[in-house]
Amino acid sequence: MEFLTYRDRSAALNIALERYVARRLSDHHLEVLSLEERLKEYVGFRTELEVKREIDYLKFLKRLKLLAFEHYGVLEPPLMKPLYPIILPAATTDWDFSATSWNLDTVLYVSSPSSLRLTGTTQLLCKYTGTTNLLEGRVINYFYIPSGYSTDLRENWRNQAAVGSWSTTNRYYRRFRNTGTLWEVREVVAGVDTLLFNGTSYLTGAMPVATWNLVRTTWWLSYAVLMMRFEWFKDGSWQKLVADCSDSTPTGGATVNRCGIGGDNLTRFDDTEIWGP
């Protein structure tokens, strides 16, 4: 009887995850269609350069595929194989962590059975097959901050750390405090850290605490310029957190360009998606 109960729970978990992935794929398709319609009428674009870059962004979106979905599960492996192979099997082995200051929280999460809870400043890079060489890509994830706290969110892309390791030597990364008081995009080349962009966030106040917030980071090439966009899902749509950032002389690895997330003590993450061409 205990075995059947465990099997039933595993089956229910797989079904729920597969429905979530199917919905996300549908949402992406609708986003592509919506942008196509906006570009037909030039709705919301002020300059010719904006239009050209958004056309390149649309071409990039059409090439995007969901490569990995991390629900920070603890079943290793699940009893039933998911329909979608992009559902990562085990949070403890899917990532390279910069520190051991984390655990899996089975009480507070977006999707069962758990979320990733940081117990100190920690960053992580995905090492799942197919996600380790993304010169262009997108990371989407939920984060949660308890009442009375703020966090310095950190996201990495084009990180050249070898699989199985963590490094800050060559990478792009973003620092963003949920209060909107800190916003930086930085590039590190051979250990030299350079500020690419900082400025005022579009936030009119702090992101809400004690609730799950959905954010995404996207990087793509437009006329050999690396474009970077940072958004928050609010009131039913994706809204920019800050103006698009660009690097006219982008750097990257020949075969390794990894991406990942990170934050401070008590930050939780769940349902992380990695997209790439």
Task: Mention every residue, 6+ apart, whose C-beta is less than 8 A from residue 3.
Answer: none
Residue ranges of the alpha helices (H) in the chain? 2-41, 48-63
What is the per-residue pLDDT for 134? 96
In total, the chain counts a number of residues equal to 277
Q: Give per-residue pLDDT as tens, 219-230.
A: 999 988 999 999
What is the per-residue pLDDT for 131? 94
Residue-range domains of the chain with CATH = 66-276 (2.60.120.560)
CA–CA separation, 234 and 212 (whole Å): 11
What is the per-residue pLDDT for 147? 86
Task: Mention every residue, 6+ apart, whose C-beta is less than 8 A from residue 76.
Answer: 89, 90, 92, 93
DSSP string, 38-85: HHHHTTT--SHHHHHHHHHHHHHHHH-EEEEEE-----SS-SS--SST
pTM, full prediction: 0.88
Of 86-95, 110-119, 267-276, give the lowest mean pLDDT range. Answer: 86-95
Q: Give per-residue pLDDT as tens, 52-85.
A: 888 899 999 999 999 988 887 755 445 445 555 5
Q: Give per-residue pLDDT as tens, 111-138.
A: 888 899 999 999 999 998 899 999 999 9
Q: Give per-residue pLDDT as tens, 9-68.
A: 555 556 777 787 888 888 888 888 988 888 877 666 677 777 888 889 999 999 999 998
Q: Over 50: is that where the pLDDT of 1 sits?
A: no
Q: Give per-residue pLDDT as tens, 183-240.
A: 888 899 999 999 998 877 777 677 888 999 999 999 999 988 999 999 989 888 898 8
